[in-house]
Structure 1
Amino acid sequence: MPDHAFWSMQSASFVLQVTKPNPEWEAWTPPPTVHLGATVVVTSNALLCQWQDELRKFAPSLRVATYFGSRAAKDAVFAKLQHLDVVLTTYATSLFGFVDMYMNFERLIIDESHTTDKGKLGFEAIAARCKFVWGVTATPITSSVDDLGVVAELLGQKKRLKNACSGTRFTHSVVALLRRLMIRHTKSQRIGGAVALALPEADAQTVWLEMKKDERAKYDDIRQAGLQEQGALLFALERRLQQRRYACAGVRAENKIGINPDGSRSFRVTHDGAKAAALLADLEALRREDAAVHAVVFTHHVDCYEHLRKRLKAAGFGIYGFKGGDPVRKRHDTIRKFQASIDAAQPGVAPAADTFAKVFIATIKVGNMGLTLTAATRVYLMEPCLDPSMEVQAAGRIHRLGQTKEVLVKRFCYRNSIDASVIRLHDRMRRGEIAIANACFPKAAVHILLKDLSGD
């Protein structure tokens, strides 16, 4: 018998077998759908512990469980779903398997929803079985309207949002659609006549500095290259201005062989620039007034981050924080250790004997979103941000629910540099003279950035 005939017979036999009536299948009826009153909160791995801590602190009566980690840990949460108020999980965690087909939830909350990436989400399957779907973000939408794409799709509005967009510009149609889909809350909002979130005063200062002589020489060399004045998206503009921005980081980096404290060789040695020196002087003055002062420092540059960690640790400050690429567990631990002495930031409470001055240092793109660092009362920005919303976010790390002291944000800027031009651009944006929408900086904005203004 030919091989193909043999395989045809095998296939026919298989078809006959699988199409035979199955009494067990015919007798099976799907279980009834169960409505669970729980709210499912999905967030990033880095913010999972923050949600745990905040719920424990501000809503201790809620029954909360975290669906994350090992199979055994997730099975334990699944077994008590009907008794829970809140289920915490992460974007990529697949929820409850096929069983979720027979469960409805009260609410799905997508934290930092502007960062979610289509195709890498474990919660999409249950979105249709939630009574309410909330996309939550405190980040001003100045980067791209596409950041709303995943939530708009879950709400059945993705096509309308796409049709309302016109190139890189916001249109009246986009604004009208967003007004229908979004609820905007502000810190000054009043509910029933009372302020919804009463917080202490917050102030911001720009500290103008002169570059050291060698910093100025390095910066002037970079300026000679010149750049074209043309509009650009934010990420492209960051790349074009990278060298000028790095030259204003406040540390001086040299590519030469050095010796690290552990005896190993280093090919990059950093020294204090005028900004690093000003930061250290300011922190030491604060420590003389309050031995348990807590502060947060943000920088765009890893070299600056590493240098400040070493410099401030040598000056006797407790150092905490992280940069991009650091493990999630390290981020959780360092935040909790920094926040552990939050009593030091409470009025009328004597600091514990083991409290000391602490500084939390982070690169701004990973540290300015979602974190709660209310143990601190001061934020330092080593450089101004091209996107002013990032500075608002940085200040929001300490000026948020749980803060009881007045806070101050200090921004270090060099005169006659890209720093001063960024500040001028922010002023023009604040007055409504220049608009940056959907991540696009117009030619007029780039023209200002390349002027290297004097500041003040």
Structure 2
Amino acid sequence: RTLAGWDGEGVRLTPMQVGVVDLFATASDHVAMSDAWRMRIAPLRDASTDAGLPPLPSLATILRPYQRRGHAWLTTRLSGGIGGILADDMGLGKTVQILSAVAALRAHAGESSPVLVVVPTSVVGVWIDQARTFTPALEVRAVKETATRRGTTIREEVENADIVVTSYTLARLESEQWSQVRLGGLVIDEAQAVKNPRTATYRALRDLDAPWKLAVSGTPIENSLSDLWSLLSLTCPGLLPPWETFQQQVRRPIENGSDPAMLARLSAYVAPFVLRRTKEEVAPDLPDKIVDVVRVDLGKEHRHIYDQFLARERARILDLLRDVDANRMSVLASITRLRQLALDPALVEESYAHVGSAKIEYLADRLDEIVPLGHQALVFSQFTSFLERIRHMLERRGISVVQLDGSTRGRAEVIEKFRSGQAQVFLISLKAGGSGLTLTEADYVYVMDPWWNPAAEEQAIDRAHRIGQTKKVNVYRMVATDTIEAKVVELQDRKRQLISSVMNGTGTGARLSEADLRGLLD
């Protein structure tokens, strides 16, 4: 219903719809509100408010000023049964802010039901360690196995617990048991994992009985505004329109740039329920992060192989793009082979092993310079086979290396070997170690292959560039010249515009489209 056509009937609003009141205020010369309503919504309008429950004395002394404000923002909302998204930059201590808020809720609000924290499998141990460090008085438990293996029910596991940590996989597999447990709250960490509302995991978390739900992600928008809708539909149900309405009336006009005013309205509407601070805004004591793009030329034979493959595949891929939805898997498979060829032709055909990789040579030469000086480095790639080839080269040069990918056993031992200085270089698969790790021992980061999701790269870089880092962090993004990688970097820049637009309320944004896929082959 438009304001112009309003007939004066009463409209029932909740504090979650404070944005509606603000829209009324901008469209009318006079909007009257009761003092009680003003007091109720005031904290929702101001992320810097000092309202909320006080932190425990043990935490009050260690929280940074911006973390104190984050604690106030969280407790103001959670104590009133209102959820949201904590979207601080990676490395700003989102976990400790949440732990502080949960501890305050337990101490001051009388909540006794357990808070469930759902995280990627690789981060379960991190949460347990952080909870025991910062909130030792809370009873914290981890559910790491199915009921068949552990021999207990979920209800038995959570009895007398303050915080229970489990993985996305187990939350989905045991969703029926979890849905029968009354929770004190739900924390969804690395929440970009549930950006697809059609998945069983999303439905499992949606159906949980909790007075508030909090999504935690440094990258709440990775590819599309649909990501934001998914997270807010979990944490603030009813705040945004239904899926189809949102797609037609909000997402598409914003992402195609046809309705800048809609972007401003969306940003204002979600602002009370999304808290995002960047390192530049709140952590000037972090050391500088220097990011350089290193453009590497392919060797002569490498270039010949790449150009031959591109010429052969380009026409076929462009033909497939006539029906991109039906042929998406085939298109992506060919594009993936092009990306692998830009790294090392041996990734596509073992008979090309003699050709070598300019990127590996460059990396090895740089590490030969910095490792003897006591520096440690993180090396990221999306391709495990490429990490293996890097590993062989570095070991031949006498550089101590550890590797973390989806097949790694003894993850904790591998991480400790690097942290203790026994290994100078940590090779990490972007998917296996792009989030949930703190590796501030490293002051050099090499991103060997660009990905069109810039948020994934930023997460990887922030394994080293985090609170606690005392050294300047040097980041090198490796790009093979005149290859598909250069086009991927262009896509990254456009994606950053979209993310910045929605979080800051400016700009028009852009998204990956059929035209973008065609552009990768130009």
The letter of the residue matching 1:450 is: L
Q: Distance in 1 between matches of 2:206 and 2:146?
A: 21
Counterpart selection for 1:407 from 454, 467, 473: 473
Deviates more, 1:398-407 or 1:425-434: 425-434
Conserved? CA contact 2:143–2:165, under 8 Å: yes
Counterpart for residue 117 of structure 2: 41
Match of 2:170 among 93, 99, 110: 93
The corresponding residue for 1:188 is 280
Partner of 1:384, secondary structure, is coil
For 1:115, the equivalent position in structure 2 comes to 193
1:311 aligns with 2:384: no
| Shift of residue 286, structure 1, vs aligned partner | 0.6
441, 446, 450: which is aligned to 2:513?
A: 441
2:271 is matched by which residue type in structure 1?
A: R
Q: Deviations over 1:121-152 (max 9, x none)?
A: 79648732x33210111225132444453661
Q: Provide the rounded CA distance (Å) in 1 between the counterparts of 2:484 and 2:508.
A: 18
**Partner of 2:170: helix, strand, or coil?**
coil
Structure 1 residues 306 and 434, CA gap change in structure 2 (3 angstroms): farther
Distance 2:461 2:253 in 1: 27
| One-letter amino acid of the structure 2 residue matched with residue 165 of structure 1 | Q
Alignment-derived partner of residue 219 in structure 1: 306
Report if aligned partners of 1:372, 1:397 keep a CA contact under 8 Å in 2: yes
Question: Which sections of structure 2, spanning at least 5 residues, go unmatched?
Answer: 1-109, 255-261, 499-506
Aligned equivalent of 1:65: 141
- Pairing of 1:25-424 with structure 2 (within 5 A): 35-36=111-112, 38-60=114-136, 62-69=138-145, 84-93=161-170, 101=180, 103-105=182-184, 107-116=185-194, 118-120=199-201, 124=205, 127-128=208-209, 130-147=210-227, 148-149=229-230, 152-153=233-234, 155-157=236-238, 160-166=242-248, 169=252, 171=254, 172=262, 175=267, 178-190=270-282, 195=283, 198-225=285-312, 226-227=314-315, 228=318, 238-250=332-344, 252-253=346-347, 255=349, 269=353, 272-290=356-374, 293-324=375-406, 326=407, 330-339=410-419, 341=420, 355-424=421-490
Show CA shifts across 1:49-106 (max 9, x none): 222233345555544221333759685996685754422112243679869857441x
Larger Rg: 1
Query: Is contact 1:161-1:177 (8 Å) kept?
Result: no
Deviation at 1:109? 0.3
Task: Give the 5 Å matches for 1:2-17.
Answer: none
1:40 corresponds to which letter in structure 2?
A: L
* Cα distance between partner residues in 1 of 2:301 and 2:487: 21
**Secondary structure of the corresponding residue to residue 317 of structure 1:** coil
Preserved CA contact (<8 Å) 1:36 1:103: no
CA contact 1:299–1:362 (8 Å) conserved in 2: yes
Change (3 A) 1:136 1:288: same
Q: Secondary structure at the match of 1:165?
A: helix
- Residue 421 of structure 1: CA displacement? 3.0
Q: Do the aligned partners of 2:435 and 2:463 also contact (CA within 8 Å) in 1?
A: yes
Alignment CA distance shift 1:301-1:70 (3 Å): closer
Equivalent AA in structure 1 for residue 311 of structure 2:
Q
Amino acid corresponding to residue 521 of structure 2 in structure 1: L
Deviations along 1:306-341, whole A, 9 cap, x unmatched? Answer: 2112222232233223334x26x54444234333x2
Give, in angstroms, the shift of residue 285 of structure 1: 0.5
Q: Which has the higher helix share?
A: 2
Deviation for aligned residue 1:412: 1.5
Unaligned runs of 5+ in 1: 1-33, 258-267, 342-354, 452-456
Q: Post-superposition shift, 1:279? A: 0.4
Structure 1 residues 270 and 137 mapped into 2: Cα distance closer, same or farther (>3 Å)? farther
Give 1:242 deviation, angstroms: 2.2
Determine if contact 2:479/2:485 at 8 Å carries over to the other structure.
yes
Question: 1-side partners of 2:348 and 2:331: how far apart?
Answer: 25
- CA distance in structure 2 between the partners assigned to 1:214 and 1:381 by the alignment: 24
| Larger strand share, 1 or 2 | 1
Q: Give the match's secondary structure for 2:414.
A: helix
Q: Distance between the aligned counterparts of 1:57 and 1:315, measured in 2?
A: 40
- Over aligned residue pairs, what C-alpha RMSD do you find? 3.9
Aligned AA (1:243): R
Structure 1 residues 62 and 403, CA gap change in structure 2 (3 angstroms): farther
Deviation readout 1:131-181 (Å, 9 max, x if unpaired) = 321011122513244445366146423753442112972643755554354
SS at match of 1:280: helix
Aligned pair in 2 of structure 1 residues 205, 136: CA closer, same or farther (>3 Å)?
same
Q: TM-score, normalised by structure 2?
A: 0.62
Identity %: 24
**C-alpha contact (below 8 Å) 2:290/2:473 kept by paired residues:** yes
Change (3 A) 1:270 1:131: farther
